[in-house]
Amino acid sequence: MKLYIAKGAGFCFGVKRAIDIAFKVADEHKGGVYTLGPIIHNPQVIEELEAMGVHPVKNVSGLRGKKVGAVIVRTHGVTLQVMNSLVSKGYNVIDATCPYVKKAQYYAKLLKDEGYQVVVLGSKEHPEVKGILSFAGKGAVVVKDPSELPRLKQKVGVVVQTTRHVDSLKELLGAIVGQIRELKVYNTLCSSTTQRLKETEELARKVDVMVIVGGKNSANTTQLANLCRSLNVPTHHVETASKLRKKWFEGAERIAISAGASTPDRLIKDVERKIKSYWRKGH
Amino acid sequence: MKLYIAKGAGFCFGVKRAIDIAFKVADEHKGGVYTLGPIIHNPQVIEELEAMGVHPVKNVSGLRGKKVGAVIVRTHGVTLQVMNSLVSKGYNVIDATCPYVKKAQYYAKLLKDEGYQVVVLGSKEHPEVKGILSFAGKGAVVVKDPSELPRLKQKVGVVVQTTRHVDSLKELLGAIVGQIRELKVYNTLCSSTTQRLKETEELARKVDVMVIVGGKNSANTTQLANLCRSLNVPTHHVETASKLRKKWFEGAERIAISAGASTPDRLIKDVERKIKSYWRKGH
């Protein structure tokens, strides 16, 4: 049996940075530290932070009546309105928005200011996309694929949720360009996501079983699993090693592990160890 | 037998305008009128204009020693250098560049001025493309498809030869966007070309024989013929009705005619009449 691990699996730059910030702020404040929503989409990391005194609240009104030492804005960022609300209420705001997401917000605003109708490629429900959209002005739309495009104005600007697949951007531009006269695109895809998708795809093409490790609520992790499934490889998405089942690997000669940007290395290692233990027992 | 004629076949707005200008200038000057290159890529129209005293010369030095009443710049436009040379030599320049081509030149310059590396999608050898390229600054490149793309800078601007197929623009954007951070595209495709390609393709899909009428030296006419051939329809590209052969139509139940932007209506009518005469004789 051969076991491969995607090199880009696990915490990306933006997630590492946000978690470092959270631990540092927790240390400085000893309680009273809140994040707007879970800081990353990984339940295991959230538990650790809870133990350190960093508590997620659902929204700004969830802070009411609490002794708030600091409010951490998570990697996904928040809408312009939420940021304004936090600042105007006088909270100590610690901005851990991923710098790549910040860029996407900035470019959405720039396109709007330059008179473009902004199209955000992404999932309407994803907090990152909600944040970006809030900078994109009136008439801006979010689409997850070309079928959702409305009738467009003649000047269209495009930004992308940082964790999409580059192919969906290519497809979108193809659908837009024939309809309009001017198109400006900021490729705000994060390079580590692109790399991770590419490596995961390459592995999926050569193995018998794929294991994707990470939060079930993590969009970028789920995307990895869906990518592998679309290539017809038996694929298992688990949050922790305890969810692995030996029978998934029966007869498999090549297995690969990949993981989302919000998956701690520790959980990936656990999965690796457990799969190797099946192998040892089986031979 | 059923005979279809593409609605968009024949002179486009820019060609009509240029020919009107040529006849008007010929009338005003009674001789001594020159065009830089044939005013459109159609030998039959060029002959008529010759008879009116409008003579093509190959280049600016071809004007030397001649009594020049006016120099007409044809629909394709000229390079910035040629225009400067004409003006600095004091010629009476009549600019019949197609307004859509002018726009492509203008946008190439705008992209250059905004710091983009300009990519022109088109044929290196086509005079329109040479003209556009001359406005696009250092580092600008012409590519006919993605395989010709060089290593790109991070800010890329795209303009298109006005007579390309929209699919080649889509394909190019797809190939560029994954490599760069910022992409600005002016869709300088001329809508009548796009319409003509679309109609011709639709006809080619439903007939047994296609006839394309127009100059063998006309890129946009040749493109129509190649499009039909790529759809595996027997296709004949003729300059005049005299080149038609009855045997091409034996057994054909549906026939269609299309023609390039530089093909006079008269030549299309001639072809239509001749094909109908085969049919009458044959039944």
Among B82, B104, B75, B56, CA closest to B17: B75
Under the banding of pLDDT at 50, 70 and 90, the label for residue A59 is very high
- Residue in chain B closest to A166 (alpha carbons) equals B178
Which among B218, B202, B55, A168 is positioned nearest to B210, based on CA atoms?
B202
Residues 6+ apart with CB under 8 A from A203: A4, A6, A210, A256, A258
Q: Which two tokens stand for residue A236?
A: 């298992």
Chain A residue with minimum CA distance to B100: A181
H or E, element range at B72: strand B70-73
How confident is the model over A71-89, as pLDDT tens digits? Answer: 999 999 999 999 999 999 9
Amino acid B210: pLDDT: 98
Please tell me the distance in Å from B175's CA to the nearest CA on chain A.
8
Q: What does the angle CA B253 – CA B243 – CA B246 come to, to the nearest 5 degrees? A: 35
pTM for this entry: 0.86
Contacts of A185 in chain B (CB under 8 A): 177, 182-185
Catalytic residue among A128, A199, A201, A272: A128
The verdict on a CB contact (< 8 Å) between B178 and A194 is: yes
In A, minimum Cα distance to B157 occurs at A184
- pLDDT at residue number A30: 78
Between CA A36 and CA A57 the distance in angstroms is 5
Chain B residues whose CB is inside 8 A of the A166 CB are 177-178
The pLDDT of residue B282: 56
Specify whether the CB–CB gap between A218 and A273 falls below 8 A. no
B177/A182 Cβ within 8 A = no
Q: Is A128 a catalytic residue?
A: yes
Q: Which residues of B touch A169 (CB under 8 A)?
A: 177-178
Give contacts of B185 with chain A, Cβ < 8 Å: 177, 182-185
User: Which residue of chain B is at minimal alpha-carbon distance from A178?
Assistant: B166
- H/E element, B93: strand B93-95
From residue B92, how far is each of B19, B51, B69, B88 by CA, in Å? 18, 21, 7, 10
The reply to whether residue A184 touches residue B181, judged by beta carbons under 8 angstroms, is no
Distance CA B133, CA B64 (A): 26
Q: What is the pLDDT of residues A197-227, one digit of tens each?
A: 999 999 999 999 999 999 998 889 999 999 9
Give the pLDDT band (50/70/90) at residue A44.
Answer: confident
Query: CB–CB of B170 and A178 under 8 A?
Result: yes
Characterize B241-260 residue by residue with b for buried, 16 or more Cβ atoms within 10 angstroms of its Cβ, and e for exposed.
beebeeebbeebeebbbbbb
Asked whether residue A282 carries a pLDDT value surpassing 70, the answer given is: no
User: If we measure between CA atoms, which residue out of B43, B52, B110, B100 comes closest to residue B77?
Assistant: B100
Chain B residue whose CA is closest to A164: B178
Rounded to a whole number of angstroms, the distance between the first and last alpha carbons of chain B is: 10
The CA distance from B272 to the nearest CA of chain A, in Å, is: 32
Give A131-156 pLDDT, tens digit per residue: 999 999 999 999 999 999 999 999 99
CB–CB contact A184 B184 (8 Å): yes
pLDDT of the residue at A281: 67
Say yes or no for a CB contact (<8 Å) between B183 and A184.
yes
Kindly determine whether residue A170 and residue B174, on different chains, have CB atoms separated by under 8 Å. Answer: yes
- A174 neighbourhood in chain B, CB within 8 Å: 170-171, 173-174
Residue pair B71/B46 in contact by the 8 Å Cβ criterion: no
Q: How far is B169 from chain A (nearest CA, A)?
A: 8
Interface of A to B at Cβ within 8 Å reads 166, 169-171, 173-174, 177-178, 180-187, 194
- Give how far Cα A185 sits from Cα of A21, A109, B155, Å: 31, 13, 10
Q: CA-CA distance, B206 to B74, in Å (whole number)?
A: 36
Residue-by-residue pLDDT tens, chain B, 283 positions: 899 999 889 999 999 999 999 999 999 987 799 999 988 878 888 898 999 899 999 999 999 999 999 999 999 999 999 999 999 999 999 999 999 999 999 999 999 999 999 999 999 999 999 999 999 999 999 999 999 999 999 999 999 999 999 999 999 999 999 999 999 999 999 989 989 999 999 999 999 999 999 999 888 999 999 999 999 999 999 999 999 999 999 999 999 999 999 899 999 999 999 999 997 765 5
Q: Chain B contacts of A177, Cβ < 8 Å?
A: 166, 169-170, 173, 185, 187
Q: Is A155 exposed, middle or buried (0-12, 13-18, 19+ CB in 10 A)?
A: middle
User: What sections of chain B are H helices per DSSP?
Assistant: 13-29, 43-51, 80-88, 99-113, 127-134, 166-177, 191-204, 219-230, 265-282
- Asked if B102 contacts B124 with a C-beta cutoff of 8 angstroms, the reply is no
Could you give the strand order of the β-sheet that contains B70-73, starting from the edge strand earlier in sequence?
A: B54-57, B33-36, B70-73, B93-95
ipTM: 0.83
Q: Tell me how crowded residue A283 is: count the other CB atoms within 10 A of its CB.
A: 6
Partner-chain residue, chosen from A171, A181, A185, that has the shortest CB–CB distance to B183: A185
Under 8 Å CB pairs connecting chains A and B tally to 57
Residue B6 Cα, gap to closest chain A Cα (Å): 21
Which member of B173, B180, B182 has the closest CB to residue A177? B173
Q: Which residues of chain A have a CB within 8 Å of the CB of B184?
A: 182-185
Catalytic pick among B47, B128, B182, B253: B128
HEC letters along A54-66: EEEECCHHHHCCC
Strand arrangement, sheet containing A54-57: A54-57, A33-36, A70-73, A93-95
